[in-house]
Structure 1
Amino acid sequence: MQIFYDHNSLQSFIKSQRERNATIGFAPTMGALHDGHLSLYAKARQENDIVVASIFINPTQFDNVKDLQKYPRNFDKDIQILENSSLVDAVYIPSDKDIYPEVMERKKYDFGGIEKEMEGEFREGHFDGVGTVVEKLFLQVQPNTAYFGEKDYQQLAIVEQLVEIRDLPVKIIGVPIFREKNGLAMSSRNVRLSETQRESAKIIYETLLMIEEWFRVITIPEIIERVSKIFEDEEGMVLEYFKIADEKTLKETDFFYKDKNYRAFIVVFVDDVRLIDNIHLS
């Protein structure tokens, strides 16, 4: 596995792959790697000649400086995880200057309104920061296909919209949520949970599975009431929001229409650790 710490060295590698018509699969990360990330690279390995990873903690997508400061950083461990996986041919670990050579600021995008829903209500400017860094990475890595996990479903939708509005020659693939044995969605934030908290947090996925059953037989207001009651009774947990939304527009709905697809989204604080999850309602 080759490691590139600057854009210039990466460029030479990408050029050599392009000259031999190799297809490039890519998944950008902010490090703190886990098996969920590796599931992206496993999918990329199946579908491409070359697989490229990136590790860059992007300042412009953090609306809270404390969250940026607390974000876990262990690049040596991340590199070892990638090497041991044998799934990745190259990893790009750029400096801030490689991504933001002139000034560190986020572009303004019009994502058609999906950026204002759910996470957009709570994290001002977040998706402009995501769009900014993903666009820059796509231009530098030049992938044929890029892979994003469905745990951050709204982010996946944002990237799909980014590719469309910027007319970028990249195919976007969503990869199903990778879960721990108890059902908890795999996340870099899980390392901040105690063993007891991690076990208790399985209630998040268990609730989503119940919602998948309930939505066939009861109304959305009734589902919302049941979900609220579940987390009122869970010590050390606070439900930040729960929504059922149209998968395409991400707009919240209060009624199910047969010709549309829906997804349930949930965000729960376990003490000060913010966990997100979702499930397709089929």
Structure 2
Amino acid sequence: MEIIHNPKELQQRALELRAEGKTIGLVPTMGYFHRGHLSLMDEARKRADVLITSLFVNPTQFGPSEDLENYPYDLDRDAALASEHGVDILFAPKKDDMYHGNHCTWVTVPDLTEILCGKSRPVHFRGVATIVTKLFMLAQPNVAVFGQKDWQQLAVIKRMVRDLDIPVEVVGHPVVREESGLAMSSRNVYLKDEERQQAPMIRKGLLKLRQEVENNISDCDTLKENLRNFYRTEIPLGTIDYIEIVHPDDITPLVKIEGPALCAVAVQIGSARLIDNILV
């Protein structure tokens, strides 16, 4: 496996690979790999001749009071795991190489980013859309794989690719979970013992909501209030950021479930902000 730090070097390498007729798969990450990340690499490995994984803790998607400085990072550990999962090129740039001192160009997808995580993290998706666009320009992928745990992010990237005619296939990959049902996240390392015991209730509450829908409860306000009460009881250490039921594609809020719907939640437990979702 080759490790590249310089963006222009990666771009030149990718252009050469495309000229040779190779297909490129990309898995963008912020590192500290867990089984969720590795499953994305495995999926991309099946779809391309060359697999590139990026490892970059992107500062522009963090707000001023968020956990940028504490976000876990271990390049040697991650490089070993990436190599084991068939990564050909690990791209690990430095901040100053990805953003010039007078950087002022941003990519925004406003219609899909005004609620859910975008409401409490107003700069987040601007940073996500911008860095993913840059990675697409540098890695020149034919296909890019993203996790469905970050469903809103996936919807934003799909819309961005459609609207800007970016020639890459965006693939969503199912959530990978711990044995307890907790969605895997690099931020899970922040959880203390008692917090980790309560965190799986996020998923159990979503499963309860799905059962209510199957029992013909379709009013979204009722479903959200029931879930809110469940979390207040079962996750006393947690603070609910949001509980929303939206259309899966355009992330618009729903009043009543009459077709495909996504229930998405964010709960702060200690210093870990955890997100999850379920299709109903």
Aligned to 1:7: 7
Q: Give, in angstroms, the shift of residue 106 of structure 1.
A: 5.2
Aligned to 2:258: 257
Deviating above 6 A after TM superposition, structure 1's stretches of 4 or more consecutive aligned residues are none
Provide the secondary structure at the position in 1 that maps to 2:202.
helix
The answer to whether residue 262 in structure 2 is matched with residue 279 in structure 1 is: no
The answer to whether residue 33 in structure 2 is matched with residue 33 in structure 1 is: yes
Equivalent residues in 2 for 1:81-160, closer than 5 Å: 81-83=81-83, 85-105=84-104, 107-109=106-108, 111=109, 113-160=111-158
The answer to whether residue 203 in structure 2 is matched with residue 177 in structure 1 is: no
Q: Give, in angstroms, the shift of residue 102 of structure 1.
A: 4.9
Kept in 2: contact 1:60–1:106 (CA 8 A): no
Kept in 2: contact 1:26–1:143 (CA 8 A): yes
Query: Any stretches of 5+ residues in structure 1 without a counterpart?
Result: none
Q: Give, in angstroms, the shift of residue 125 of structure 1.
A: 1.9
Kept in 1: contact 2:42–2:85 (CA 8 A): no
The 3 A distance-change label for structure 1 pair 105 and 58 is farther
Query: Any stretches of 5+ residues in structure 2 without a counterpart?
Result: none
Q: Give, in angstroms, the shift of residue 43 of structure 1.
A: 0.4
Q: Give, in angstroms, the shift of residue 239 of structure 1.
A: 1.7
Kept in 1: contact 2:11–2:140 (CA 8 A): no
Q: Deviations over 1:48-88 (max 9, x none)?
A: 111100011111111225421121121121112212x2321
1:208 counterpart (206, 209, 226): 206
Instruction: Report the identity percentage.
Output: 35
Matched residue type, 1:161: R
Q: Structure 2 length normalisation: TM-score?
A: 0.94
Kept in 1: contact 2:15–2:140 (CA 8 A): no
Separation of aligned partners in 1, 2:256 and 2:66: 38
Matched residue type, 2:237: G
The answer to whether residue 271 in structure 2 is matched with residue 268 in structure 1 is: no
Kept in 2: contact 1:27–1:53 (CA 8 A): yes
Aligned to 1:162: 160
Matched residue type, 1:18: R
Aligned to 2:240: 239
Aligned length: 277
Separation of aligned partners in 1, 2:105 and 2:122: 12
The answer to whether residue 70 in structure 2 is matched with residue 70 in structure 1 is: yes
Aligned to 1:18: 18
Matched residue type, 1:113: D
Separation of aligned partners in 2, 1:74 and 1:105: 29
Q: Give, in angstroms, the shift of residue 108 of structure 1.
A: 4.7
Separation of aligned partners in 1, 2:243 and 2:93: 36
Root-mean-square deviation (Å):
1.6
